[in-house]
Amino acid sequence: MKKLLLSLVAVFCFGILFAREWRCRGVVTDSCHRTPVPYAVVYVHRTPFGTVADNLGRFSLSAPDSVRVDTLVVAAEGFELRYLAASDIRDHGEANIRLIPDAARRLQPEIASKIAESPNSPLKMVAKIAHGIIDDWLPLGDARTNKFDLGRIQTFPTVNPVEGFRLRLGAASNARLSPRFFVKGYVAYGFKDKKPKYRGEAAYSFDEKAYHENEFPKNNLRLVYENDIYAPGDAHPRDANDFLLSAYRLAHNQMTYRRFADLSYEREFQNGLAPTLWLRKSRIRAQSNLLNMLPHTDDNTPSNRQTLNLAQAGFLLRYAFREAYLQEKRKRYSVEMLSPVLLLGYSAGTFNGPENNSPYHRLDFSAQKRFLLGNAGRLDVVGEFSKLWNIAPVPLLLFPAQRMEHAIENKGSFLTQSLEFPADEQYVLRATFVAEELFLSGTEVSEGLHAREFFSMKIAYGKLNEKNYPLDNRGIYPLPPMSCRYNEIPYVEGSLGITGIFGLLRVEYVHRFTHRDTPNALLGLLRVDIAL
């Protein structure tokens, strides 16, 4: 019996000895930008013991005391491998392990640099321009201490039918001014309409930020006041006026001037759930072909038919299954592009229709997914559904180009006129295939410019109920001359081209397959666009 007891005590003592563990925890950050490095690998050198940080760079590592823990190794794609003494981080609370970005961290600037390797390269100037456009914001003052940035470079020059040539200049504060309170704004001027435009916004972040308020995860209260142009058929109502180099390509005389105040609260959770709640009061004033966008009423003055006053409240709920970002200054690059992303939006409000407070309700749903097709390339697919209730004037109807925000390829329709296919119930499918091994694979064009072939298809179908179709009815909102119904036939267009030129440009030919006999239909187009 005594031997049995001694044996049990020995087993218990050995159990305690081997149950003891070496532990550490901390966060992995970018040494340059002080932002988290998601999914970094932390392991004990020359052992099988390790862990993977979460999407906020946080990790917890343990190993049995029987294992000799001298050195930890920290690795992440796009960063230099780091070795550090285990004794430096054990028992020191939460360690901050900083990784140095690798020279090849940012693919697009690296490509531009390769183009200009030779000091006499004729493409050196092109590379510098590409760098500036990709960076988008310039520091006002010393880049190490500046409190404001100048931008956005991509929207500095634009062209549209109403303003003609447009110049825009903006500025935004960063965390050096305040890690919680941020201001941003721009002023713009169109040389054709000779009208100044502007936007100002103030945001309060409930969490301290490393550089700007939109770092993941967001937790912001934001107030925006904007007075600018707006093309109802070209942009989703909650899109910002952040178009690249050219804007409103097909919105000839189908645009409005919009002034609004918007209060929103946006929150991103670590699990990928991101709700936004918002209130907005807008005044939309039509011009040219949209002058009579409201019906004739007892007060039949032109100004009352040209101005739409709208008060709304709504929410946007986004769910990204594995959301994580690499973040540097004002940019954040999605790390996980293969997981589905779902968006659900709803807005309700009133406007100055036939009655003083005519109701307005809109529902939007969108889903995106990227598929990797082996060595062939990748396929990006986006599906969208939108629906309106109640009678609505033209600026509040649905159109094929009113896409929701997506991280993957999600270009709008290019050959439809801005207000060509109005609907109050709409279905849209967009698919883009970017090749990795096709005709350009292995060529100097492919390797030097990182250019890739791509093919895309866009299909839209919608319904316009009789309540929103004029039929010479005095109480129905008039549609502009270019608007027409789908008539049971979906709109289909496709394109093929080359993307990623200089890490920046996209060249394509777009072809219209259906509704080719509609008045003034654009049947095909060769176009150059920005592919960021």
Helix (H) or strand (E) holding 230: strand 219-230
Cα–Cα distance between 448 and 440 in angstroms, integer?
11
**DSSP letter string, 343-412:** EEEEEEEEESSSSTTEEEEEEEEEEEEEEE-TTSEEEEEEEEEEEEES---GGGSB-TT-PPP-SS----
End-to-end CA distance of the chain: 78
Centre a 10 Å sphere on the Cβ of residue 506 and count the other Cβ atoms it contains: 21
Structure token pair of residue 271 = 């699990």
**Res 469: pLDDT:** 72
What ranges in 136-288 are assigned the alpha helix state H? none
The single-letter code of the amino acid at 391 is I
HSE-CB for 119 with a 13 A CA cutoff: 0
Instruction: Please compute the mean of the pLDDT values over residues 381-389 and round it to a whole number.
Output: 93
Cα–Cα distance between 44 and 49 in angstroms, integer?
6
Cα–Cα distance between 264 and 312 in angstroms, integer?
12
Centre a 10 Å sphere on the Cβ of residue 36 and count the other Cβ atoms it contains: 24
pLDDT digits over 49-95, tens only? Answer: 999 999 999 999 988 988 888 899 999 988 999 999 887 776 556 88
**Res 256: pLDDT:** 85
Residue 271 vs residue 15, higher pLDDT = 271
For residue 48, give the DSSP letter. S
Instruction: Please compute the mean of the pLDDT values over residues 92-108 and round it to a whole number.
Output: 72
What ranges in 20-154 are assigned the alpha helix state H? 107-115, 124-135
Structure token pair of residue 391 = 């009678």
Cα–Cα distance between 202 and 296 in angstroms, integer?
39
pTM: 0.84
pLDDT digits over 262-284, tens only? Answer: 999 999 999 999 999 999 999 98
| Contact yes or no for 212/180 (Cβ under 8 A) | no
Helix axes 107-115, 124-135, angle to 10 degrees: 160
